[in-house]
Every structure is written in C-alpha cells, then in structure tokens.
Amino acid sequence: MNEPLDIAVLGAGSWGTTLAILLDQNRHRIRLWEYFPEQASRIAEARVNETFLPGVPIPASIQIGSDLQVALDGAELVLFVVPSHTIRPTARAAAATGRIDRKTIIVNAAKGLEEHTLLRLSQVLEAELPSEPANILSLIGPSHAEEVSQGIPTSVVAAGPDVEIAAQVQHVFKRPYFRVYTNDDVIGVEIGVALKNIIAIAAGVCDGLGYGDNTKAALLTRGLVEISRLGCALGARRETFFGLSGIGDLIATALSRHSRNRYVGERIGRGELLESVLKGMVMVAEGVRTTRAAVDLGEREGVELPIIESINEVLFHRKDPQAAINALMNRPLREEMW
C-alpha cells in the first residue's frame, strides 16, 4: 500500500529496537543507530539486543551502526527513541550532519519533559532541527516493547499538528497487531504520556505499602485529573487525556510488571531511599526526572497538583510514603471536580 521509505531509527533501546523490527516488517529500509559503538557492534553481530530486548531476532535487512551521518543519509523519516534527557544533544548532532531538511519527517517516540526548560520533546526537536513544525510528530501510547515485539495487539497515537501528515505516519507504522490512531492535540498527547509516569510511581508506592486496588484506582483517577488540569492550562484539549496517550498509557504503566516507574515507586513504598533504588537500575525511570519538571510547570501555570507534589516530597525530600498517601486521602472533601 505504501511506498517503502528510508527510515533512521535513533536509539537501540528496547523500544527503538522493537520499532525498527516493526518498520522492517512493513518493508521500509531501516538503519538503526546506537550511540555507543561497542553496543552497536555487539547488536549488529549477534543480531539480537541482549541488553534491552533479549530473545527477539533482528532481521539482517536492518542496518545497525553508531555513525549518525550514515544512519541519516537519505532518510525520509527519522524516529527519535532516545531517553528524554538525551533528545536535545541527539537532535543537535543530527542537525549538524546536514542530512535533515525541512521536508524530513521527524517522529518522537520518547516520553518526558526537558528538565529546566520544561519543554515537551517535540518542542525540543523543533528547536534543534530544520524540519518544518508540521513534519514533527510524536508516536505514543500504551506500548510495552516486550509485548509489541511478540506481536501482542497494541494501539498507539500518531500526534502532529497536520492531520494529513499524521495519517501518513499512521500508515508507515500500522501492522495487524499495531493499531495507530491520529490526533492533532500534540500538547495533550505529550503532556499525558510524560506526566503519567509520575502517577505510575504513586501507584507503585501504594503497592509497596501493601495497599490494594481501591487506593490505586482512586490515585490513578485523581492523578489523571491533575494531569488534565495542567495540560489544559498549557493549551491541550481535555478529552485527549481520556485517550490512549492519557488513561491508556497510564493504565499500562501504572499497573504493569514491566513498568520501571511503578517499580521505583514500589521500592520507595517499601521504605527504600531513591538513591539506592536508582543505583541498581539499568534502564531509565523517566518519571523521576519528570516529577521535578511537573512541579515547576504547575507553579509556573498556577495549577494545584497535590498528588504530583506529594510524590516530589517523597522522592526528593524523604517524606514518609504512608503519611503522604494518607494526607492525600484526608484533604477536605468536596464535589468530584475537574
């Protein structure tokens, strides 16, 4: 149906590797770029990403390397799947190769906010790359790489300001097991997926405290209200938070055994300190960084964020997790509000 495209996938973590394989199944020509040369060689030789996606073979048709210039040469679509704090330097390096022009389609698949600037990730890409804003999108939703790589049915959202370009991206990525919706509310989609990681930490804290489904369900529900409030203040549409990038991603993250954010929260709930939890982790728990950024955003926008602020206190100021949850339960009662 589609013409095969030249696609550069930047970042060979579990999600980048998974999407590279999926795009290869759709007959696109894929170059998978990995920052660390040694890791790139290891994956290229073994034809499997033992560190991040063990057991899933990588087809020979996918080129793997750590030379950004080679990866981007002739790329019609560039997919960014790097940790959120490396997206700016990666974009800057990509721009410096001269291989990206205003027509290159850029798809961000990372979730988070940039610390200090408090920018969404597509805003960071817009600032660093020559691509036209209409050509910069995010592909996002409840999609654990471990499951997508096994062909388990998954639905995500392609979010961009131009509906037609979003529809193109939709067709580039869709597979029988990978359903892609479109949405032009980029702010809502990106804020939802960034901030839900904080609520996932809160859900993990409940698990660690031995609390059950009731507490978690209430926290997730009220957490989503907080996220949507902040998002609307930033210009998002409220209903976006009730879609795949909002509730959907929140559910998948907050209740999953795969979720690193939930797991960080669980260990904190059991009484460990953040430093010791993070020390033992290979992969990044984006929510830890996002918490600080969200608190700053809430202050800047004048939006009350009781759950997110509590998690901030627990993570960075050693507030007792049980006291934090109980305090949230005992705020003055009122109508169910938005």
Active site members: 196
Structure tokens given for 41: 């060689």
Q: Which is nearer to a copy of itself, 35 or 181 (CB)?
A: 181
Exactly one of 63, 69, 177, 233 binds a copy of itself (CB under 8 A); which one? 177
Q: Quick check: 180 binds a copy of itself (CB under 8 A)?
A: yes
Rounded to whole angstroms, how far apart are CA atoms 76 and 74? 6
Region near a copy of itself per CB under 8 A, out of 87-95, 104-112, 209-217, 307-315: 209-217
Q: Quick check: 244 binds a copy of itself (CB under 8 A)?
A: yes
Rounded to whole angstroms, how far apart are CA atoms 168 and 178? 15
Q: Which is nearer to a copy of itself, 149 or 291 (CB)?
A: 149
Shortest CB 329 distance to a copy of itself, Å: 5
Region near a copy of itself per CB under 8 A, out of 96-104, 120-128, 153-161, 264-272: 153-161
Exactly one of 88, 99, 111, 216 binds a copy of itself (CB under 8 A); which one? 216
Phi, psi angles (nearest 5°) of residue 205? -55, -45
Query: Quick one: which H or E segment has residue 50?
Result: none
In the three-class reduction of DSSP (H, G, I as helix; E, B as strand; rest coil), residue 120 is classed as strand
Q: Which is nearer to a copy of itself, 45 or 214 (CB)?
A: 214
Q: Which is nearer to a copy of itself, 29 or 238 (CB)?
A: 238
List binders of a copy of itself among 317-336 (CB under 8 A).
325-326, 329-330, 333-336
What DSSP character marks residue 47? Answer: T
Q: Quick check: 230 binds a copy of itself (CB under 8 A)?
A: no
Rounded to whole angstroms, how far apart are CA atoms 209 and 329? 14
Phi, psi angles (nearest 5°) of residue 312? -60, -45
Which is nearest to 193 in space by CA: 258, 240, 136? 240
Rounded to whole angstroms, how far apart are CA atoms 77 and 100? 9
Please, what's the b/e burial string for 211-220 (b: 16 or more CB within 10 A of its CB; e: otherwise)?
beeebbeebb
Strands 136-140 and 154-159, bridge-based pairing: antiparallel
The C-alpha angle with vertex 293 and arms to 290 and 298, in degrees rounded to 5, equals 120
Contact 231, 241 (CB under 8 A): yes
Rounded to whole angstroms, how far apart are CA atoms 127 and 109? 17
Region near a copy of itself per CB under 8 A, out of 92-100, 239-247, 268-276, 292-300: 239-247
Shortest CB 245 distance to a copy of itself, Å: 8
Q: Quick check: 187 binds a copy of itself (CB under 8 A)?
A: no
Exactly one of 3, 45, 164, 213 binds a copy of itself (CB under 8 A); which one? 213
Region near a copy of itself per CB under 8 A, out of 44-52, 110-118, 129-137, 154-162: 154-162
# of chain residues touching a copy of itself (CB under 8 A): 61
Give contact residues for a copy of itself (rule: CB under 8 A).
141-144, 146-148, 152-155, 157, 163, 170, 174, 176-177, 179-183, 211-218, 220-222, 224-225, 228, 238-244, 246-249, 251-252, 255-256, 258, 325-326, 329-330, 333-336, 338
